[in-house]
Amino acid sequence: MEKMEGIIELGKGNLMNTYAQNPVVFDHGKGAHLYSVDGRCYIDCVAGIAVNALGYGDEKIRKAVMDVLDDGIFHVSNLYYNKWAPKAAAKLNALAGSRKVFFCNSGAEANEAALKIARKYGSRTGRSRIISFSHSFHGRTYGAMTLTGQEKYQKGFFPVVPEISYAVYNDLESVKALAGDDVCAVFVEPVQGEGGIVPADKEFLEGLRKLCDEKDMLLVFDCVQTGLGRTGRIFAFQHYDVKPDVMSLAKALGGGLPFAACVGFEKAADVLCPGEHASTFGGNALSAALCLVVLEELENGLAEEAARKGRILMKGLEEIAARHPDKCSAVRGLGLMAGLVLKVPPKDVVSACFRKGLLVCSAGYDVLRFVPPLVITEEDIGQALQILDEVLD
Ligand SMILES: *Cc1c(COP(=O)(O)O)cnc(C)c1O
């Protein structure tokens, strides 16, 4: 067996220093359990950062990989069709009520595509300004990083993309104040994820929809983290009964492989023309086949399962918050996207949980985030809560 320390040293010596990585190497998993090279078992409430909706070792994922593998082709480029991407796009459109899909590989890329749709849409009327929100997160490429309304992500990388302004989340008046004749789109997360698990108010999203319709601005929902069952509905906007013009998806979309989509509803579906946008790997056969598995599971009730388990997790977190009023101040979230707001540094709690075999991560500067696989068992949720309770003691 390979020694864990050796692999970690190799990583430290050869990977760019962009992550504060925990000192562990995982090599297999089952359900919501991850196993390290040195044989320890962890309960996973991170799920590869809201990616692994079906957990680890899922049989349907394994079969889909083997099917594509048997064909001998993972990738043919978008000069041709593969068997899987059109099916995945059709199913996505049927589930979302959208019209057209552009496939790419990451959340940031999906938002870059949305940005190009927004600016192209605005170019008809000479508008190019975009509104996004403080404490938002949209990714790390230049456009997505500029959309991200948090100074720490942009510091050191100026100049950023021009004509992007930040309004205050859940404050419609702040959007109206910025919505001049030069604005072509509003980008918003239905639940802010990295910013600290902050759900939008219903009136806020309804107000944004109305404002965008009045002013002919595109409403873009970044559902990269909230998408695909995570919040207890297949798409977070279904909680609010507010449809976007464009939606970005990634994270859980590829069943663990890199896969993302920029989804166009009515008037945004045909903005891009041949030659105006592309991705070499976008819609590749293997990722699209796994995407189909994820979408089929969502059709079969995975989101409802997440809603039920989310209620159990939230209730448990609320009990813990009530038991530790000196260390916790609130519980926020939707479905299996939960945040415990702390009065102590989340980093310390994350480390203490890690040492006891529970994987959690932070969000914002004071929130402990839970985004487990949607297939996590009630028993695992109970154990995770118990470990957290002990840590806070
Ligand atoms: C993770 C995330 C992104 C970025 O996705 P990448 O795949 O890391 O580029 C964008 N938006 C939201 C809301 C996210 O949570």
**Could you give the CA distance from residue 48 to residue 72 in angstroms, rounded to a whole number?**
28
Q: Over range 35-61, report the average pLDDT.
A: 98
361-390: pLDDT as tens digits: 999 999 999 999 999 999 999 999 999 999
The atom of ligand 1 lying closest to the CA of 108 is: 9
Residue 184 CA to ligand 1 center (angstroms) comes to: 22
Q: Give yes or no: 137 in active site.
A: yes
Measured between alpha carbons, how far is residue 8 from residues 17, 37, 176, 283, 324 in Å?
A: 13, 11, 50, 33, 35
Q: Over range 59-83, report the average pLDDT.
A: 95
Sign, Cα dihedral of 193, 257, 111, 102: negative
**Residue 108 confidence (pLDDT):** 98
271-291: pLDDT as tens digits: 999 999 999 999 999 999 999
Mutate to test the pocket of ligand 1, among 141, 191, 194 (most ligand atoms within 8 A of CB): 194
Distance from chain centroid for Cα 296: 19
CA-proximal residue: ligand 1, atom 10 (nearest) = 138
Q: Over range 310-324, report the average pLDDT.
A: 98
Which helix (H) or strand (E) segment is 278 a member of? none
**pLDDT exceeds 90 at position 208:** yes
Q: Give yes or no: 267 in active site.
A: no
Ligand 1 neighbour 106 (Cβ under 6 A): yes
Ligand 1 neighbour 149 (Cβ under 6 A): no
Name residue 28's beta-bridge partners. 35
Residue 201 CA to ligand 1 center (angstroms) comes to: 21
Q: Give yes or no: 155 in active site.
A: no
Ligand 1 neighbour 388 (Cβ under 6 A): no
The atom of ligand 1 lying closest to the CA of 136 is: 13
Residue 128 CA to ligand 1 center (angstroms) comes to: 23
Reference 226, options 136, 149, 296; nearest CA is 136
Ligand 1 neighbour 138 (Cβ under 6 A): yes
Reference 168, options 192, 193, 194, 140; nearest CA is 192
The atom of ligand 1 lying closest to the CA of 223 is: 13
C-alpha torsion 203→207→208→211, nearest 10: 180
**Residue 1 confidence (pLDDT):** 54
Amino acid at 23: P
Average pLDDT, the chain: 97
